[in-house]
Amino acid sequence: MEPKRVVVTGMGAITPLGNDVESFWNGLVEGRNAVGPITRFDTTGYKVKLAAEVKDFDPLKYMDFKTAKRMELFSQFAVAASCEAVTQAGLDMEKEDPYRVGVIVSSGIGSMQATEREHKNLLEGKKVSPFYIPMMISNMASASIAMKFGMKGKNIDIVTACASGSHSIGDAFKTIKFGDADVMLAGGAEAAVCPLGVSGFTSLTALSTNEDPETASRPFDKNRDGFVIGEGSGVVVLEELQHAKARGAKILAEVVGYGATNDAFHITSPAEDGSGAGMAMKIAMKEAGIGPSDVDYINAHGTSTHHNDLFETRAIKFAFGDEAKKVAINSTKSMIGHLLGGAGGVEFIVMVKSIENSYVHVTQGSTESEEELDLDYTFGSGKHMDITYAMSNNLGFGGHNATVIVKKYEE
């Protein structure tokens, strides 16, 4: 069977910069920083004081009260982002074979809040909620979306930590490419700004203890000291090209390459030579039928940790060789923090918007790199440029590497 072409027809976002794609994108273009003091809980006694929180989110805009009450925040974010994506795509499930429409929207963690809440009940001798397990488990983002829209096709949850969203989009792309679905909703969602989440990452020394919101998340900067935890969701509608054209859908971009590897090296650190992530990029470029000189822009994993930014730089050099210094690179995490399992979905949307608007946003807050970090990380200001091929990288604890390549759509 001839492989199918896969296009993007809808996008939805719930982010610290705004609860729809346009407000999110406009915030990136303006260089607005969404990092600020944690309001979800009292941080007295905590080393980490900052996060990038979603503001003004009302789940009742997307679902009824009873449904919202039985859904944890990460799932609410996922359903909300899906509503925007499905609306933009103009997808009418009444006209679709529901078994040909699937969902792969993942969360790296699920609900830590539910665990905190029910553990407290357990210790106090109170009844643990019968909804604890079904609300906490990470597959409920995908399941909730399916129930919302009546999508009965392939429905899974890929848990690869911070690479979950990118792997979800990559696997959804493959599902359509090889004929197992006509339409897939794909992406990620996370809501881990809570005492257990912040304490866990703090103990790993992964989070920034900087109390200045403007410089706490500064990827590829020599003074970086850890990532800022963020929250939200990014979901996209992927569709087989002829299916999209037959129903008159507006095509936003085309997905052309996906690479997935593992470092087999360390539980939290990427491989020091960058070979694992570099191979994911090479695999994605091979599938897309392009070489390093064809890639105009990389939306980097760019977490603002010492190890990630150094080893991802080495990975780009491993994959791109002499072309590494010619490609524009930025980190969306500089403004919205690290959305963990939600990062890949949101950053995929950034790739599509960058192609659409011929613009690479600034890596906000970063000013000066160090000796080995010598690539073009888009410090200082964004840049207007034509983009035909864009690449997104996300790397997860456990050595999971994911690369997705998007192309400007052409007939």
pLDDT at position 1 is 77
Question: Sign of the C-alpha dihedral, residues 315, 320, 325, 331?
Answer: negative
Mapped onto helix, strand or coil, the DSSP state of residue 71 is coil
Beta strands in 361-399 (DSSP E): 383-384, 389-396
| Integer CA distances (angstroms), 252 to 17, 88, 200, 363, 376, in order | 22, 10, 39, 24, 27
Q: How many CA atoms lie within 13 A of 85 on its CB side?
A: 34
39: Cβ contacts below 8 Å, ≥ 6 apart: 53
What's the DSSP call for residue 394?
A: E
Q: What is the 3-state secondary structure (H, E, C) of 108-146?
A: CCCCHHHHHHHHHHHHCCCCCCCCHHHHHCCCHHHHHHH
Q: How many CB atoms lie within 10 A of CB 391?
A: 29
**Band of the pLDDT at 411, cuts 50, 70, 90?**
confident
Q: What is the pLDDT of residue 280?
A: 98
Q: For residue 192, give both structure tokens.
A: 């881990």
Paired tokens of 79: 């359903």
CB 118 within 8 A of CB 203: no
Alpha helices in 211-342 (DSSP H): 241-246, 275-288, 306-320, 333-336
Helix, strand, coil in percent for the chain, rounding step 5: 40, 20, 40
Cβ atoms of 358 and 382 closer than 8 Å: no
pLDDT at 394: 98
Work out the pLDDT band at 204, boundaries 50, 70, 90.
very high
What would the pLDDT profile of 332-383 be if each residue is shown by its tens digit?
999 999 999 999 999 999 999 999 999 999 999 999 999 999 999 999 999 9
Q: Which candidate, 189, 82, 195, 209, places its Cα nearest to that of 140?
A: 189
The SS3 assignment for 392 reads strand
Mean pLDDT of 242-254: 98
> Minimum mean pLDDT among 138-147, 171-180, 269-278: which range?
269-278
Q: What span, in angstroms and rounded, lies between the C-alpha atoms of 375 and 381?
A: 15
Q: What structural domains does the chain harbor?
A: 7-246 (3.40.47.10), 260-407 (3.40.47.10)
d(CA 126, CA 119): 10
pLDDT at 401: 98
Residues in the chain: 411
Backbone angles phi, psi at 280, to 5 degrees: -60, -40
Alpha-carbon span 167 to 403, nearest angstrom = 8
Which residues carry out catalysis? 162, 301, 338
Question: What integer is the mean pLDDT of 101-108?
Answer: 98
Q: Answer whether 341's CB lies under 8 Å from 330's CB.
A: no
Q: For residue 263, what are the CA distances in angstroms to 166, 256, 396, 399? A: 16, 24, 10, 5
Name the DSSP letter for residue 103: E
Question: For 359, which DSSP code?
Answer: E
pLDDT at position 187: 98
Q: Which residue has the tokens 């990118």?
A: 166
- Helix (H, G, I), strand (E, B), or coil: what is residue 98? helix
